[in-house]
Amino acid sequence: MSDEAEAGLEPEESASEEGGGSSKKKKGFPLAALLPNLLKFVAIGLGALIFIVTVSVITFTLLNKGGKSQTVIPENSPYVGTRPQYQTFSNIGIVRTRSMDPTPYTVVVEMVIAYDMGANDAQNELIARSTELQDFVRSFFRTKFVNELQPDNEQQLKREIIELLNTQKLNTAKVRDIYFKQLETIES
């Protein structure tokens, strides 16, 4: 024993060395002991996820009543937009002028002015300014090139006319829209 003590070995260690190592601990894969616990937590997580998804789907289906929309707008609802109705002024007549192109085109325009329904003062002003409006239409289209008078640019032309009439030509009447009965360009 004293030899064993001098060697710094414990009696158990020396016995195991002499006996062939039968009581030695087995060294194996370090996660082998953690694997069952790890699988247990993964199974619990998957079970919780399946439970949450199932509850969510059932709740969503019940709340939506089978997928029907909960917001239904009745046909006669005040929130459904309708186009406003306007009174029209068409006493300007057909106006012929020339375009600003180097080889001028003849421009033929018949325009209708739309204004608020029941605006008698607007109607009176438009009637009083009929000749001035004809001159405005003639001079407006005289400053345009033929490529500006194409159907693609019609909305832009209407916006320009409305702006000029409301800001420079009319006092009480407010033009709401412009309609072209005729807008033609004819090569001269």
Average pLDDT over residues 12-25: 48
Task: Using DSSP, state whether 66 is helix, strand or coil.
Answer: coil
Tell me the pLDDT tens digit for each residue of 56-66. Answer: 988 888 777 65
User: Roughly how many angstroms between the first and final C-alpha of the chain, as a whole number?
Assistant: 132
pLDDT at residue 74, as a whole number: 61
Q: Which amino acid is at 11?
A: P
Closest CA to 88 of 113, 117, 54: 113
pLDDT at residue 26, as a whole number: 55
Q: What's the CATH class of domain 86-187? A: alpha beta
pTM, rounded to two decimals = 0.56
d(CA 78, CA 110): 36
Q: Long-range contacts for 55-60 (Cβ within 8 Å, ≥24 apart)?
A: none
Neighbour-count burial for 77-103, b at 16+ CB within 10 Å, e otherwise: eeeeeeeeebbebeebeebebebeeee
Q: For residues 91 and 3, which has the higher predicted lDDT (pLDDT)?
A: 91
Report in angstroms the alpha-carbon separations of 74 from 39, 77, 78, 84: 56, 5, 9, 20
168 C-beta neighbours (distance < 10 Å), count: 8
pLDDT band for 14, please (50, 70, 90 cuts): very low
- The whole-chain average pLDDT of the chain stands at 81
d(CA 167, CA 133): 14
Residue 77 scores a pLDDT above 70: no
Average pLDDT over residues 134-146: 93
Residue 79 scores a pLDDT above 80: no
Tokens standing for residue 131: 């000749």
Beta-bridge partner residues of 183: 109
Closest CA to 94 of 134, 149, 153: 134
Q: For residues 36 and 70, which has the higher predicted lDDT (pLDDT)?
A: 36
pLDDT at residue 32, as a whole number: 73
pLDDT at residue 135, as a whole number: 93
Residue 46 scores a pLDDT above 50: yes
Q: For residues 142 and 5, which has the higher predicted lDDT (pLDDT)?
A: 142
Are the C-beta atoms of residues 180 and 154 closer than 8 Å to each other? Answer: yes
What is the percentage of the chain residues whose pLDDT exceeds 90?
52
pLDDT band for 17, please (50, 70, 90 cuts): very low
Residue 150 scores a pLDDT above 50: yes
